[in-house]
Structures are given as structure tokens and as C-alpha cells.
Amino acid sequence: MALYLDTDVQYIKGVGPKLAQSLAKRGIYKVEDLFSFYPRAYEDRRAVRNIASLEPDEMVSIAAQIMGVSSQNLGRTKRKVYTVLVRDDSGKIACKFFRTPYRGYFERFQTGQKVRIVGKLTEYRGVKEFHHPDIQDWVENEDQDCILPIYTEIDRISSKKMRSIYEIAFKNLQAPVAEKLPDWILKKYNLVSRHEAIFNLHNPPKGSAGDFLHYRTPYQKRIIFEELFWLEVLMFAKKQGLKKEDGLPFEDEMSYVNKFLGSLPFELTGAQKRAFAAIKKDLLSPHPMHRMVQGDVGCGKTMVAMLAAAFAKGSRYQSALMVPTEILAKQHFKNAKEYLESIGLRIAILTGNMGAKAKRESLAALENGEVDLVVGTHALIQKEVQFKNLGLVIIDEQHRFGVEQRKSLKTKGKAPHLLLMTATPIPRSLAMTVYGDLDNTIIDELPSGRIPILTRVVYDSNRHKVMGFMEEQIAKGRQAYIVYPLVEESEKMDLKDATREYEKLKEAYPKIQFGLLHGKMKEDEKSQIMSDFRENKIQVLVATTVIEVGVDVPNSNMMIIEHSERFGLSQLHQLRGRVGRGKHKSYCVLMLGKAVGQESKDRCDIMARHSDGFKIAEADLEIRGPGVFMGTKQSGLPGFEMANLVRDAVTLQEAREAAMTIFEKDPKLQSPSHATVKEELQKSAGALSLADIG
């Protein structure tokens, strides 16, 4: 049957309605979708190895015999780890599966059965093994002089079956895969056509396995460039639209700012002054500000936000500061009252757990213009919240909010200025993509007097030494945090939890006052616990990551993070930032679980070596990838099929340069050569209309 890009996949010979339903689970409905389902790896049949010769991190193909299949529970949980043990003449090796590819997968293996195994070798606690390899039935007299694409299994559709589907699809395709990039981009960046790239990804040329495995082929570069290019086009289009909006007319009125600066018992850092200068310039421009301020924990972003609110007051505009937790809202409210009320700003707080009367009073004051700065949680975006003259929206820990939540607060005013703040340093490569529509300011200087935090990675076997040192610190009048990944015991994860460990700690150390804090507690309970901790009525706070932001107790100088291998590096850095805020030498202990591999320890060692949040964030991005690092929902970052922001940094720069060139020369995308760009933008932009860029 003749096939076209928009033909349903069920009409490919050998697919049919049943297989089409399976393919639909991965978003494959049309032939074009099928072509964009890329191989996850490549098998070099000419390089079949024996088990004894294997080295970690190698992508290999081996012939072996099944010795047996076994399973065991993971720790105290009901989850199972399956092991397929195989051997050849040189030795034996385990293939481990932490999830079942599909029902009946392991029942197909019989003792003595000959199989082909394709996968990347890993080393866990000194033992070489495969994790989730591709195990294929051995076929005698099969062509060994070839490179075969390996696909992620969908239901029971094997890689062999997928290769057959692709062969038929390409054979019956009536026209080449349509080109989407302008000719000048293909020539300038030496890119192959889209059809050539896609055909060769599914039909790799002989002799190119090494290049495929390391993403060095021209076919992979073409797709990587394209994925990054469309994201950059979207970012520049959004920025074009933002530049067209009319901003609010702020005045260059510095009286409240000068009063604020004069009331401070310290001098702002140079980085804080530069950040405010950039914000002030934006506020005086004819277009709304869209700026993000990044800075490490403790760099003084809050002071910069207060300066911006004081400047807004000078132009008779209201400001709103939205934060992700009630604890953080109360912290900011306390600081704002301390620093801003005395110079004439009227401050209010709005959270979901306020009493009805207090909430009504805050809402009325906001609507009547009797409040200059309101600090609040998600409660600020509720329908009943109305402002008289909202001019500045400030969102702290902005990555905790979804894209729509950030938009909702902006709609409370007429094109208010937007200032995003984050203490989670964002690597430059990620900032260029996710936040390409924002201007970026980095506060890269800490206030004088901050003492570096000593960080150590410790195995569970040395716990007694850690706890002994904590007792010494408590005896000196200091305080400590102990952080756990879970609130309560879990059947699914063999991890310590805050609730049970809190009870054990109270029993083991009766002379120490412990407190428990986690996200499932009521807000008034949390507030009381935090109040007692600040007053040193509680000496050790046992908590979950609810303390990650907004907790500021200068007397606390020790942090113990249990199962630190379970946290992202940036989250560990945020948690560590809860100590080192006072005059005492501070310590952070990263406790590892009992069954932790060398890779997990190496990750935590990065924390011990670096205090620079940006270096840590780069490492975190490289290890976990952008989707996990930012949270796709929060960032609005699309998933890439092939691009990697760390590995493909050079291609990212090229894609950004190409997108920038288009919008500089043809901002309305009127040139015939940019027709496909305009078409793709309309598809991907969603709510972004061409009127925004035209």
C-alpha cells in the first residue's frame, strides 16, 4: 500500500489495528510519528564480546546461555528485583531488572536457552552486571556484519519487529520526509536533510556504530539541532510578544528606596546593587519587565525584592510577593514588616490557612489600595483576590510554581512587571532554553562574614561518630536539623522515615529536646514547632524537605541529611543552605544508606567539594537531565527525544544563533523562506498567536 506521512500506522503491512493500539501508547498514530520514534541504542554485530572482556560503561553485544531466572524483594518492600543469570565459555554475569518490561517477559526464558544480550555494562559495589539489557532470542546464521537499531519495547513489540515495520514503511513511502528548516540554515550549519537523517537513524550505515553510540553522526546532529532550534524559536517569539506590550508608567522616584537603604545596618553587596540597577532600568522602560534573579542561598535576593517594592511604592503601585509555602510566607512577611513598615510601606499577608476575618480584612485592604506589599502563597491567585493598582509581581522559588500559576498572578493587574527569584542556581544551558524569554540577573556575591559550611559524606557504619559530634554541638548551645526523605514508613521504599526515627531519637537521646516537622502537619502545628525551634526550646528538628526553603535559624549550625543519595544535588544544596546563617562554624553531613553504590557516593562527593551552587547545578543537570532537574510541569520544558543540554551545548548555541538571526532579520516571519518556521510556531506555540510576534 502507498504510504504518506499522515497515513495511519495500522495500514503499514504487518501492523494492523491491534499493533496500532500498542504503538498509540507511545504517541505513534501516523507514519510521521513512527519516524520520530528513534532507537534508544545501536547493536554492533561485528563486535560480539565474551563476558570476561567486558568493561563498565561499554555498550556491548554478547552471546550467552540462560542459567536461570530468580527474583527477590527490594528491602522491606513488595517491589521485586528480577535477575536473569547468563554464562558463556569465559564466565557468567547477571542481568538485573528493577521493573518488568511486560507481563510474561521472564517466563519466556528456559535454562540452557541461547540468547543475545545487548546493553550497557554497569559496576555495582565492585560487581559487573547489566541493568535492563535487551535480551533477544538467538537466531542461527543471522547476518553478523551489520549495525542494528534497538528500540524501547512497547508491549511485546520487539526491536526485530520494529525494524521490519520501518523497512516496509520506508519502502512504500511515496514522498521524502518533508524538510522544515530553511535552506540557509542547512548550508550554514552543514546539516543533512530531514529525510536523510531519519532514514539513517533507522537504517544505520555499516561501520558507524561507535559514532552512533556517542551521538557523533550527522544524522543525530540534524535531529538534535532541530529539537533545540524549535525551542529557541518559541522562546524568541515569546520575547518578541513581550516587547510589544505596553508597560506601566513607573516614575524615577527614589525617596522610599533611599529611606530603605538608609535604615539598613549593613551595606548592600556590589552584586545586589547591580541587580537592583537592572530591575530599576526595566521598571522605567516602556515594556513590562520579565526578569529572573538567580543567586545562591543567602546571597540577599530578598533585599533586592524589597528594594523593587519600595521603588514601586514611589510610583504608587502595589506589589505582590508569592512564595510556595506558608513557612516562607511568614518569614518574608516578618522581614518586610521589619524593614519596610518603618519607611512607610503598608504590609499584608495572605495564605490559605488564615482565619475568615483576617482574610476578609486583607482582601478588602488590597482592593482598596490600603496595602503596598502583600506576601502570600498560592492564595494570591484565587478569584476573590483583587488589587487596586498591581504594578509589580515577585515570585520567589519560582520553580515551585507551574507556568499557569505564574500567569494567573500577572492577570491581577494591567501588564504588571514580573520578577522571578530562585535560590536553585540554573545552569546557563538550561536558562537559555527554559527561560530564554526572560532577562537574567545573577547575584554572585555573598554578604561579608558568611563562614563556609564544612560538608562530609559518611557511610551508615560511622553514624555513632556523627551523632556524638551532634551531641557536642548541642552541649555548646547550638541546634541541628536531621532531614529524612519520607514522612512515614513506606512499603515501596526501604528508607528511614521522619516519624519513626523521631520516636527512636527521643528514646536514644533523652537529654536532647527533639521536634518533628513535615508537610502533612497542620499549619498551626508547623508554626508552633518553628517558633519553638527559633527560641531554642527544640534543639534538634527532625524534618522532611519542608525545611528546604524559608527556614532561617542562625543558631542552627549542623545538618544531617539521611539517605542523601536519594536527593538531587541542587536539593541537597538548598537543604545545606539552612545552616551557615549565623556566626558559628557550620557542618553538613550527608549520610548514605546501607546499600549504596560508588556512583551515588561520587555524586554526594560533589557536594563535599563544591560550595558554588552553579557548579553543583551543572553536575546535577548532567546526572539527572533537564526534565527531572526542573520538573517539566513547572518549567514548561518539552521533552527532547535526542537532544541533551549538557552534551549538545555547542549545537544549542548554533540553534540559538539561527533562531536569533531569523527574528532579527524577519521579526514577523513574512519571508517565504521562513514559511515552515511560521507554520511550526503556530503548531507549538499553543496560546501564543502570530499577533504576538507580528
For residue range 153-186, what is the model confidence (pLDDT) as tens digits? 787 788 889 999 999 999 999 999 999 999 999 9
Going by pLDDT thresholds of 50, 70 and 90, the confidence category of residue 244 is low
Of 334, 347, 236, nearest to 550 by C-alpha is 334
271 has pLDDT over 80: yes
CATH of domain 255-443: 3.40.50.300
pLDDT at 629 over 60: no
Predicted pLDDT of residue 47 = 60
Q: For 537-552, b where at least 16 C-beta lie within 10 A, e where not — what string?
A: ebbbbbbbbbbbbbbb
pLDDT for 491 equals 45
- If you search the block for the grid coordinates 512504500, which residue do you land on? 172
Q: CB burial class (10 A; 0-12, 13-18, 19+) of residue 265?
A: exposed
> What does the pLDDT read at residue 636?
43
Question: What residue spans define the domains of the chain?
Answer: 1-40+159-175, 43-150, 179-193+204-244+648-694, 255-443, 454-610
Amino acid 444: pLDDT: 79
Distance between CA atoms of 491 and 495, rounded to whole angstroms? 9
pLDDT in tens, 671-690: 898 988 888 887 765 534 44
Confidence band of 404 (pLDDT split at 50, 70, 90) = confident
**Distance (Å, whole) CA 229 – CA 656:** 6
CA 558, 562, 563, 568 dihedral sign is negative
| Pairwise CA distance, residues 428 & 232, whole Å | 14
**Beta-strand pair 290-295/347-350:** unpaired
CA distance 234 to 682: 10
- In terms of average pLDDT, the best of 28-37, 630-639, 646-655 is 28-37
Q: Give the tens place of pLDDT for each residue, 43-71.
A: 776 666 789 888 887 778 888 999 999 98
Give the span between the Cα atoms of 654 and 213, in whole angstroms: 22
- Whole-number Å distance between alpha carbons of 433 and 415: 24
Comparing 437 with 27, which gets the higher pLDDT? Answer: 27
Higher pLDDT, 376 or 611: 376
What gap in Å lies between CA 311 and CA 317, rounded to an integer? 9
Reply yes or no on whether the pLDDT at 196 is more than 80: yes
Mean pLDDT of all residues in 288-316? 89
Res 266 pLDDT > 80: yes
Whether the pLDDT of residue 633 is over 70: the answer is no
pLDDT at 144: 57
Residue 477 in contact with residue 621, Cβ under 8 Å? no
Interval 277-300 mean pLDDT: 87
| Among 582-596, 636-650, 677-691, the least confident range | 677-691
Q: How far is CA 11 from CA 17, 99, 159, 168, 676, in A?
A: 8, 32, 19, 11, 28
Instruction: Write the CA distances from 94 to 58, 79, 477, 673, 675, integer angstroms.
Output: 16, 19, 52, 55, 53
**Residue 367: all three cell numbers together:** 482592593
β-bridge mates for residue 560, sequence order: 482, 589
The answer to whether 43-150 and 454-610 have equal CATH topology is: no
Tens-place pLDDT, residues 114-164? 998 888 888 876 788 998 888 888 877 665 557 888 888 787 788 889 999
Burial label for 52, CB within 10 Å (0-12, 13-18, 19+), is exposed
> Exposed, middle or buried: residue 283 (CB in 10 Å: 0-12, 13-18, 19+)?
buried
- Helices 218-244 and 649-665 cross at an angle (nearest 10°) of 40
How does residue 259 score in pLDDT terms, banded at 50, 70 and 90? very high
State the CATH class of domain 43-150. mainly beta
Most confident of 116-120, 316-320, 580-584: 316-320
CATH 3.40.50.300 fits 454-610, yes or no: yes
Q: Rounded distance, CA 189 to CA 180, Å? A: 15
541-564 mean pLDDT: 85
- Residue 568: helix, strand or coil by DSSP? coil
Q: 409-429 burial by CB neighbour count: b if 16+ within 10 A, else e?
A: bbebbebbbbbbbbbbbbbbb
Which of 219-228, 243-252, 453-462, 573-582 shows the lowest mean pLDDT across its residues? 243-252
User: Could you tell me if 423 and 397 are in contact, meaning their C-beta atoms sit under 8 angstroms apart?
Assistant: yes
Closest among 426, 375, 381 to 403, alpha carbons compared: 381
Residue 561 has pLDDT above 80, yes or no: yes
CA distances from 69 to 62, 108, 111, 122 (A): 18, 10, 8, 19
Q: What pLDDT, in 10s, does the model give residues 643-677?
A: 887 788 889 889 989 999 999 888 888 889 898 88
Considering only CA atoms, give the Rg of the chain.
Answer: 29
CB 669 within 8 A of CB 681: yes
Residue type, 14: G
Query: For residue 132, what is its C-alpha cell?
Result: 535492563
Write out the three cell numbers for 74: 527490594
The pLDDT, as a whole number, for residue 403 is 67
Q: What percent of the chain is predicted at pLDDT more than 90? A: 43
Quick one: average pLDDT of 355-368? 91
**pLDDT score of 75:** 60
Q: Tell whether the torsion through CA atoms of 474, 479, 485 and 490 is positive or negative.
A: positive
Structure confidence at residue 29 as a pLDDT band (50, 70, 90) = very high
Edge-to-edge strand order for the sheet containing 417-422? 347-350, 373-376, 318-322, 390-396, 417-422, 290-295, 439-443
Q: What is the pLDDT of residue 48?
A: 67
Q: How far is CA 137 from the centre of its chain?
A: 38
Q: In sequence order, what are the beta bridge partners of 479?
A: 556
Checking if the pLDDT of 693 tops 50, the result is: no
| Stretch 348-355: mean pLDDT | 89
Q: Indicate the pLDDT class of residue 103, thresholds 50, 70 and 90.
A: confident
Q: Are 392 and 309 in contact (CB under 8 A)?
A: yes
Residue 692 confidence class, pLDDT cut points 50, 70, 90: very low
Contact predicate 487/520, CB 8 Å: yes
Do 73 and 110 meet the contact criterion of CB atoms below 8 Å apart? no
Q: Are 391 and 319 in contact (CB under 8 A)?
A: yes
In degrees, rounded to 5, the angle at the alpha carbon of residue 626 between the alpha carbons of residues 660 and 495 is: 170
CATH architecture, domain 1-40+159-175:
Orthogonal Bundle (1.10)
Distances (CA, A) of 413 to 393, 409, 422: 9, 8, 23
pLDDT value of residue 624: 63
Cβ within 8 Å of residue 437, ≥6 positions away: 235, 236, 238, 239, 242, 290
pLDDT at 632 over 70: no
pLDDT of residue 432: 65
